[in-house]
Structure 1
Amino acid sequence: MKKLLLCGIALAALTGVANADTFVVSMKGPGGGNPFWAAVEEGAKAKGKELGVDVVVVAPPSETDVQAQIAQLEDLIAQKVSGIALAPTDPNALAPVVDAAKEAGIPVVFIDGAGSNPGVSLIGTNNLEGGKIAGDFLCKSLPQGSEVAILQGIMSTTNGIDRAGGASEAFKACGLKVVAEQTAEWDRAKGLSVTESILAGNPNIKGIFASNDNMALGAVEALKAAAKLKDVTVVGFDANPDAAASILAGEMTASVAQAPKNIGGFGIQALADLKAGKTVPPMIDTGTILVTKENAEAYK
């Protein structure tokens, strides 16, 4: 049997667990490398302790390692775990293994982003609405006709599609001009390099929406290096502690906060409910809020 990754640490086989359900949270990336996933893990484990169930958190080495997540899930199904809360790296690629879990009698819910399997509930953020919140903020902050850019996440995921799409809808509605839409794959270093490229071709840009805070912080670094930070409004997504600190320092201007602890906790609760034969709603929205200098202290 292969070993699983517990946020970068080898995880032994899940055998010999008695008198307790074992629910698994399959995240897109290690919590140690992203404050969002660390908070999802924290919320899941807290809920597991409350319910008296075992919670195991696994993750592929990166959010683009789809095959690693598939292999992890195949192992979990073979170990007959009690339920899986899955944040799919690639909804279509993960669909067959989700079907295999359901056929094995293992309850599955999606967390953070939707999969493509019908009838599987989603616990997470309304990312389309969150993208619109970010877009509307930039619309109110910039003159009509201003040039803006979107740093996309991984566009094979619903999160990547919806956040960028929501912002784009808002920009079109208010008359901001989108001059660049490029993926930086949720990564800070790529956010920096992609922003450098965008700035080279669009020196008059006035606003950047980044689909997560890692990319937004990379954009801030690029703008600093180009001596353009005071001229460009940067809005991110997640409101993680680093982003909150950047907002308070007057670098990033805003971010859209999710509730990652709720995502993890509600995911475990949904699995416990399904295991008990209860019905879970098709969608459980864990909420979004705009974070600016006025409320950023609460997110540090």
Structure 2
Amino acid sequence: MKKSVTVLVGLLISVSLFLTGCGGSQGSQQADSKKASEKMKIGVVVKALNSDYWKLVEAGAKQAGDKLGLDVTVVGPNSETNVTGQIAMIEDQITKKVNGLVIATSQPASAIPVLNKAKDANIPVVLVDTDIPWDSKVSYVGTESFLGGKDAGNYLGKKLPKGSKVVILGGNVGDPNMDTRVNGCKEALKENGLEVATVQPANSERGMAVTVMENLIQSKQEFQGVFAANDEMALGAIRALEAARINVPVVGFDASPDALRAIKDGKLDASVAQDAIKMGYMSVESAMKAAKGEAVDQRINTGTKIIDKDNVDQKVEELSKALGKNIIQ
């Protein structure tokens, strides 16, 4: 009888431990599920996702999400001219009640009303890449575009004799970031004794830049160099110049993978590198801090650097490592 009682007690203890283990496992799963659902949500809306540059910003934002334990969503329209599409995406993020927003606005006048909606919903907004005159922003994270434009103008000043004329290709009309790059380049060209042949909008698009350059060539526009306010336009300009067998220095802006490949191939002279990955990362980090009520720097300059044949390999290695793949295969 004593033996039977001992066995029964042992069985009861085993069952109790088993049930406790199951309950612990279930409780752990519930805790993990709750933890996942409580992740802070950061919405990132860029100007477009049709270029390498914005894909690098996206990569940086997602790296921040992974490292900081955030739920990061990155969206953007099919082109930088699709302002209406971008506004709709910002409104969608507000509707989803994200904890913080990171925005690269295409047109300030169109964006400010929807940014005010975010403010009214108590969603902190960090501007990335493009700064705009909106007092309610938490922070601006990006390049000082005027200085980057000057970098391009100074580079052309070293490549061209005084009196040379430079074509400037700008972005979408009303895009303050592109306009600031153009103005910086114009100032540097003047300081270096060069002239602006013409400033033409090419909507930040490669195809549009081809058309603009073809028209300038056909109209017999005199020029000895080209500055494009982003790499997509620089690569479009090169295509038109090659077709016309015109060899002049071309400088882009962004140091995108396609531009780096063109520099290695000897087709593009240089590009002003922005740290797009750093922009994406630090803007998401700033939005997170603001959502937590922590202090955030009002302006974070991620810097610029001229990339040409002398340092292009180093830049390719840096970006390939950051993205985990060879970016110019």
Give the aligned partner of residue 243 of structure 2. Answer: 225
Counterpart CA distance in 2 for 1:119 and 1:77 is 16
Counterpart CA distance in 1 for 2:78 and 2:252 is 24
Alignment RMSD (CA, Å):
1.4
Deviates more, 1:198-207 or 1:74-83: 198-207
Matches within 5 A, 1:103-122: 103-120=120-137, 121-122=139-140
Q: Does 1:268 align with 2:284?
A: yes
Look up the equivalent residue of 2:232 and give its one-letter code.
Answer: N
Look up the equivalent residue of 1:40 and give its one-letter code.
Answer: V
Give the aligned partner of residue 89 of structure 1. Answer: 106
1:202 shift after superposition: 4.0
Is the contact made by 1:153 and 1:186 (CA closer than 8 Å) also made in structure 2? yes
Matches within 5 A, 1:164-183: 164-183=182-201
Give the aligned partner of residue 299 of structure 2. Answer: 283
Matches within 5 A, 1:208-247: 208-229=226-247, 232-247=248-263
Look up the equivalent residue of 2:40 and give its one-letter code.
Answer: D
Determine which of 18, 29, 35 is the counterpart of 2:48.
29
Look up the equivalent residue of 2:45 and give its one-letter code.
Answer: S
1:114 shift after superposition: 1.1
Q: Does 1:48 align with 2:72?
A: no
Is the contact made by 2:119 and 2:136 (CA closer than 8 Å) also made in structure 1? no
Deviates more, 1:70-79 or 1:84-93: 70-79
Counterpart CA distance in 1 for 2:45 and 2:298 is 19
Q: Deviations over 1:7-58 (max 9, x none)?
A: xxxxxxxxxx72111101101101xx21111111110011111111100011
Look up the equivalent residue of 1:178 and give its one-letter code.
Answer: V
Is the contact made by 2:197 and 2:222 (CA closer than 8 Å) also made in structure 1? no
Listed as ranges, the gaps of 5+ residues in structure 2 are 1-35, 317-329
Look up the equivalent residue of 1:161 and give its one-letter code.
Answer: D
Counterpart CA distance in 1 for 2:221 and 2:197 is 11
TM superposition score normalised by structure 1: 0.90
1:199 shift after superposition: 2.0
Determine which of 67, 72, 80 is the counterpart of 1:63.
80
Give the aligned partner of residue 9 of structure 2. Answer: none
For the pair shown, which has the larger CA radius of gyration, 1 or 2? 2
Flag the 1:202–1:134 CA change in 2: closer, same or farther, 3 A.
Answer: farther
1:201 shift after superposition: 3.0
Identity, % of aligned pairs? 40
Give the aligned partner of residue 169 of structure 2. Answer: 151
Is the contact made by 2:150 and 2:184 (CA closer than 8 Å) also made in structure 1? yes
Q: Deviations over 1:131-169 (max 9, x none)?
A: 000000101110000111101111312211111110011
Look up the equivalent residue of 1:148 and give its one-letter code.
Answer: V
Counterpart CA distance in 1 for 2:218 and 2:312 is 31
Is the contact made by 1:154 and 1:160 (CA closer than 8 Å) also made in structure 2? yes
1:61 shift after superposition: 2.3
Counterpart CA distance in 2 for 1:171 and 1:29 is 30
Q: Does 1:134 align with 2:152?
A: yes
Counterpart CA distance in 2 for 1:132 and 1:239 is 16
Q: Deviations over 1:200-235 (max 9, x none)?
A: 334541100000111111111111111112xx1100
Flag the 1:119–1:242 CA change in 2: closer, same or farther, 3 A.
Answer: same
1:177 shift after superposition: 1.6
Look up the equivalent residue of 1:134 and give its one-letter code.
Answer: A
**Secondary structure, in 3 states, of the residue corresponding to 2:58?**
helix
Task: Point out 4+ residue stretches in structure 1 off by more than 4 angstroms.
Answer: none
- Give the aligned length: 281
Counterpart CA distance in 2 for 1:119 and 1:81 is 17
1:72 shift after superposition: 1.6
Between Structure 1 and Structure 2, which shows a larger proportion of helix residues? 2
